[in-house]
Amino acid sequence: MLQGNQTISAFFLLGLTAVSEQQQHIFVLFLCMYLVTMVGNLLIILAIVNDAHLHSPMYFFLANLSFTDICFTSTTVPKMLADIQSQSPVISFAGCLTQMYFFMLLVDVDNFLLAAMAYDRYVAICYPLHYAALLSLKRCALLVVTPWVVCNLLSVPHIGLLGLLNFCDQREIPHFFCDLEPILRLACSDTQINDLTILVIGGAVIFIPFTFICVSYFLIGCTVLRIPSAKGKWKTFSTCGSHFLAVSLFYGSISGVYFLPSSAYSAERDKVAAVMYTVVTPMMNPFIYSLRNKDMKGAVRRLLIRKTYFCRW
């Protein structure tokens, strides 16, 4: 990557704060959050795999969401923790593009998995008699594999276009990971094509699943309203509560980064929103999907009891 007549080989990640006294507090906080994310999501996956009662489409999608969240968080947090400890927040240009590629891939896959989970709830509530036929194992696998393939292909143009840019003397990224918007602001060359690509591809990847989720919940709402008893309405809609909360948390934070005009860009606001959807949301998902779910809580409890029993022997 050229910088005038020089070659840019690395960027400097400024992290969440430049105040050295706060660095160790941030390190401890994010290490704890990362460990909770890993343990929580791994428990979800292991509980679903080991409990035959949870071998259904809803939990199949949840296990895949947990796996994606583990990978998603691991693309940013370990590097940030290593930078704090080493006091050398350097990332190579190739490393920056690699991190950005996996970050975009995984956030896009998260979008589509949330849409697949909304479709699962829609079929379960609106067409319960056809649930097994509409969400067969083959179709569930297709709903999971297709986003991985499509999102892999959609991440490539962003990385390819970044490789064509020339960067100025400023190589400091005011963020804790390589994100598109902060890096584009370091470029000396015209970024109109990059901005258009973000608008078209990024907008479609977020807008299409989000619209699908909204339509699914609208149709679910119409079905629920036709249920005569208030208790029946609440019981039916409560099965969507966890997913609705996860969707609100994810899209609420991500909209603060990608749906505001460039003129309203704020590095501090960007970092706060990024922490929400890259760290907080993956950490909260295991609690959101298990605390109000008796089957999930029971499966996790049985898993822990079984592991404790084997450890004693």
The residue ranking higher by pLDDT, 313 or 117, is: 117
H helical segments located in 186-293? 192-197, 203-225, 230-238, 241-258, 267-275, 281-290
Percent of the chain with pLDDT over 70: 90
Percent of the chain with pLDDT over 90: 35
Q: What is the reported pLDDT for 5?
A: 36
pLDDT at 3 over 50: no
pLDDT at 215 over 70: yes
Measuring CA to CA, how many Å separate 194 from each of 165, 201, 247, 271, 302? Answer: 9, 10, 28, 21, 50
Q: Delineate the domains of the chain, giving CATH numbers in brackets.
A: 10-311 (1.20.1070.10)
Condensed to tens digits (0 to 9), the pLDDT of residues 236-293 reads: 777 777 788 888 888 877 776 665 555 556 667 778 888 888 898 899 888 888 876 7
Q: What is the mean pLDDT of the chain?
A: 84
pTM over 0.75: yes
Strand partners, 187: 167
